[in-house]
Chains A and B, each alone.
Chain A
Amino acid sequence: MAARGHVQDPNDRRLRPIYDYLDNGNNKMAIQQADKLLKKHKDLHCAKVLKAIGLQRTGKQDEAFTLAQEVATLEPTDDNSLQALTILYREMHRPELVTKLYEAAVKKVPLSEEYHSHLFMAYARVGEYKKMQQAGMALYKIVPKNPYYFWSVMSLVMQAISAQDEKLAQTMFLPLAERMVEKMVKEEKIEAEAEVQLYFMILERLGKCEEALEVIRGPLGEKLTSELQSRESKCMMLYQRLQRWPEGNALASKLLLKNPDDWQFYSCYFDSLFHLIDQSWTEEGEGFHLAMTFVEDRIKAEDQKETRQLRGPYLGRLELIHRLRERGCPEEAQLGEPWDLMTQYFSQFGDKPCCITDLKLYLHLMPPEQHLKFIRGLGEAVPLGGESEEEGGSVFPEDTKALQRHLCVCQLSRALGLHHALSPEGKLRVIRDLKAHYHHGLKFGEESMAWQGIGLLQEGLSHSPSNAQFKLLLLLLYCHLGAFEPVVDLYSSLDAKHVQHDTIGYLLTRYAEPLGQFAAASQSCNFTLRFFHSNQKDTSEYIIQAYKYGAFEKIPEFIALRSRLNQSLHFAQVRTERMLLDLFLEADIVLSLEESVKSMSLTPEEDDIPWDTLRDNRDLTVLTSWDPRDRWEHRRASMEEECLWLRMRSLTLRLLAALTALGRAHQQQNSLGSENGVGDKASVAARLFSQLEQALQSAACLSEKRSQYPFLGPPSTRLAAALACGSCQCQTSALQLTVHLQELETMGLDESTELQTRICNTFKSLVIQLQEMSNKCNGDLLEMKDSRLKTQPSLLENLVFFLETMSVVLWVASQCAKVIRPLKASLQKKKKKKKDTNTATPAVVCGFQVLTGGLQEVLSQVLEHIKTQELGLTALKLASLTLEPHTQEEESFIRAGMDKVHSSYLRSLQELGDLLKRRAETLKTLKI
């Protein structure tokens, strides 16, 4: 920021120290220096803005904003002030104010290229495409430079892309953009490659393929030089869209002769040729012959090469067989037997790790009865090396190439579904064994096997400390045992970066809070949100860069990336869970519920989740799985479940916000005498509640037909457990009181007998439901039984549900007190006036006392239970456990795993106990 051109300007010299302080992060000194300067030079506006930057960075946002607006209303035109304000507004996340700033500046200095260009960029930052179009043209009129003209054209294209109405795009924005470019073409003013790119984009979007082809093949196309094969790829795409098969085939063939390894052109070649046959350009037999000769010629050329052979031609042959077979052509037999060709392929490329991904595509060409023969044949075709017979008849691969071939054979037999016992032991075997063990362990619910799985994975990790699969499997296994503590280190050692917060973050956020590790949950939410927020800001900057450098094709891509992140399911979940978590941790403990809700700017009316466009960005393939076939089905089911759970959580959150509006509505009513606000609030709460009820119903249906995901499939949500322990039902009953209380508020106490009875019934039912939830927490988390260590992680989850539900009930109760207190006072006043001698306490007040008494009792029970569990766990002597026979090393890894689970349980219990104790404190103050 300190880099200013004109050192001669005395103002620059005066401002310099402030810039330096700000650059060095010394905000306090910057503010002082600015104050000093402002004493002498009152109208040095920039100093004010720099002071505002200092204030903003020291957390004084309001002051900073007021100061900035003082300068902004003067509509400054000096470069220093404008740039400083731009920086300040960006830090305030108020990019729309920058546009106002420069709108004023260009009005005062209408011929400034610089300010007009800043204005254009300011519009770009907020995505005002129409204004960008105008700003671009205004610029071009002042300074007739081509880029400005094309900025304007691109902004028209962006209006087309963002238009809700495709017709408007096709009949207005794009044709206008086309005419603007045509004008430049006619006047022979096209200069840059970017301009031709943009022309092509427009024609393509208009579906004018003929015209586009003409441009690409003509003199304008010659400008497309930066990107390799840019003209060829574009031509190929257009030939396909135009169904110009002869030209398409000729081009594909030409490109394959040049590079017989470029896979995309094989499918272009076959596609076009088969179309030619279908349209009788070529006689069928002749056409197939042509294709076969073409592929075999490529193979011959490859066979004769001394140096590294390319895989393309050989795979091309398999692809051709696949396509001929799809058409039912007997000619495929002339190319050879698939199993034989694949065996040959293996002997050539079996030592490359990619051999399996290549062949996997064509395994279906072999009938099942050939599978075994094929796999056996591979061993014969290429001996795995190593003659040394170990005990038990195992053969070790001799070198890495043999090892790789061996792995490939194992992978192929897996992929073919042959669970073969052919593998000797080797390094690679460790991985498979571990997985097999652990799979086995889970399938049969045998917990000792799960411990063994943990032991083996921990051992594997000690040998290969950076193996991500080991870590991920361990992570999952610990989570299933209810232990989140070891996961924190595992996940951080995975070094998940950037976009992975979106794609694999679900592994973390799914388990942290539900397993009672609230501090860790907070932290992981923060990481994730930081990622999402910073990317929102950054993307806008690079859209501007793309305009500057004429990378027009990238602009829609950047915008799509931004939406992809903004619409991420995970983002919405973390936003919602973060707020709920904050409430569980702090509301009515550190701050009042009302203050907490206010500090999060949470309102019942506002739904910030883009339900219709939510995207599932989770990487569900991050764990290598043997059976990828069901993954799509699981993903769909999982997405449905996730959305429903998110809906319930988000509605809970908004109803809690509505709850805090209760007390306020009462105050408003008293002071302003207006009932409009109250009525609206009531209807919002009622609407939200009926949505929650609906969601609860759908949840009940869903959980009945719920499919179990495989262990390596998507994690299931908390929905089923929340229903089973009664948490959803109890929270819903509590939240219904929000609606009832609003009614009570308007009715008063003397004329609401029926309503009061209903409220009292709900009070009673809440105590009963919480008591049942508390019963479901009973039992031992960790138990030693005849040399076995038994875990019951669901008890831990139930405790967390209890905490959440108890918090919700307490918040509702506290709002009840707030609503009833003034009603009771006014009732007493009325009675006094009327000299009414009926001194009976209103039903709802009695009911409330019963409620608080009941809550007190349940809460003490649970606290007692947690204390007992903590004592029990501490006294548990894991070392005295006799394990099934293992080697000493194996045993030490298993024991280490057990210790980790043990320690994690203790921490969860402690965090839960602390929070519940603080909730119990708030219960004491609940009085009417």
Chain B
Amino acid sequence: MTTLRAFTCSLTVPQYGIPFYLQYLAHWPEYFIVAEAPGGELMGYIMGKAEGSVAREDWHGHVTALSVAPEFRRLGLAAKLMDMLEEISERKGGFFVDLFVRVSNQVAVSMYKQLGYSVYRTVIEYYSASNGDPDEDAYDMRKALSRDTEKRSIIPLPHPVRPEDIE
């Protein structure tokens, strides 16, 4: 039981720098949703954007960040927030929703699989360490939306790609 509302700046989450959040709020405010507990505690938030081109049939919703505080885990909150992001992307006429996740993050990968996402491709050395050295590969996971009736957007690529090859 949760209050879901639009993210406002009065709430400040330290995970990323302030500019990062402002950039999203200025451009895609509807994609920024926070969940609050009845006592007012911040439970978690999701942040995303819409990008791509309709002509190329890759207009889609993207999950930039999804975060749930430890004491509010295992309540299905992440699923609820993902569901909302998908609904927003449906309304915008997106073909699919995608997200990047560390290949080692098995918990997250299996959660996304449960939510209907599948690995579309592997992006080599997508993540880098704080010193700039390549750190880890990412899975680009996708879930087709109703507009993509034949689910063409999620047919897995046969080969991994490099970060510079993705948009």
Interface positions of A (Cβ within 8 A of B): 225-228, 230, 233, 261-264, 308, 310-312, 315-316, 319, 352-354, 357-358, 360-361, 496-500, 503, 535, 538-539, 541-543, 545-546, 548-549, 551, 553-554, 557-558, 560-561, 564
Contacts and interface: CB of A to CB of B under 8 A. Distances in A.
B71 interface: yes
A262 B8 contact: no
Interface string B9-29: 110111111110011011111
Given A357-B41, A551-B29, A553-B29, A228 B72 contact: no
Contact of A554 (B4, B26, B38): B26
A255 B151 CA distance: 32
Contacts of B87: 228
B39 interface: yes
B29 A263 contact: no
Contacts of B38: 263, 315, 319, 358, 361
What 9 pairs across the A-B complex have the smallest Cβ distances? A312-B1, A542-B22, A545-B26, A353-B71, A226-B30, A546-B26, A561-B9, A227-B30, A311-B1
A264 B9 contact: no
Nearest to A351: B74
A437 B4 CA distance: 40
12 contacts: A226-B30, A227-B29, A228-B84, A262-B1, A263-B1, A312-B1, A312-B2, A353-B71, A361-B38, A541-B19, A548-B26, A554-B9
A925 to B, nearest CB: 47
Contact of A498 (B17, B28, B74, B75): B17
B113 interface: no
A198 to B, nearest CB: 13
Interface string B118-146: 00000000000000000000000000000
A262 B84 CA distance: 13
Contact of A352 (B8, B22, B39, B75): B75
Given A352-B75, A354-B37, A498 B16 contact: yes
A308 B2 contact: no
A503 B2 CA distance: 26
B162 interface: no
B3 interface: yes
A262 B3 contact: yes
B34 to A, nearest CB: 12
Given A263-B3, A545-B26, A560-B9, A353 B72 contact: yes
B92 interface: yes
B85 to A, nearest CB: 9
Given A264-B5, A312-B1, A498 B18 contact: yes
Nearest to A559: B9
B6 interface: yes
B56 interface: no
A546 B3 CA distance: 26
Q: How large is the interface on B (under 10, 10 to 19, 20 to 34, 35 or more residues)?
A: 35 or more
B37 A357 contact: yes
Nearest to B85: A228
B9 A354 contact: no
A319 B38 CA distance: 10
Given A498-B18, A500-B14, A549-B27, A357 B39 contact: yes
A262 B70 contact: no
A360 B71 CA distance: 14
B63 to A, nearest CB: 15
Contacts of B84: 228
Interface string B92-134: 1000000000000000000000000000000000000000000
B73 interface: yes
Contacts of B71: 353-354, 357
B159 interface: no
B76 interface: yes
Contact of B91 (A226, A261, A311, A500): A226
A264 B2 CA distance: 8
A352 B72 CA distance: 7
Nearest to A314: B1
B75 A542 contact: no
Given A538-B22, A554-B26, A261 B14 contact: no
A551 B27 contact: yes
A561 B26 contact: no
Contact of A551 (B18, B26, B92): B26
Contact of B39 (A361, A535, A546, A549): A361
A549 B15 contact: no
Contacts of B43: 354
Contact of B26 (A360, A535, A542): A542
B3 A264 contact: yes
Contact of B2 (A227, A262, A353, A561): A262
A263 B75 CA distance: 14
A557 B167 CA distance: 31
A233 B74 CA distance: 27
Contacts of B29: 226-227, 551, 553-554
B66 interface: no
Contacts of A541: 19
A462 to B, nearest CB: 21
A498 B70 contact: no
A497 B17 contact: yes
B161 interface: no
A74 B13 CA distance: 47
Contacts of A498: 14, 16-18
Contacts of B15: 497
Nearest to B38: A263
Nearest to B23: A542
Contacts of B3: 262-264
Contacts of A554: 9, 25-26, 29
A310 B18 contact: no
B145 to A, nearest CB: 15
Contact of A261 (B2, B12, B19, B33): B2
B19 A353 contact: no
A541 to B, nearest CB: 8
Contacts of A557: 8-10, 25
A316 B1 CA distance: 9
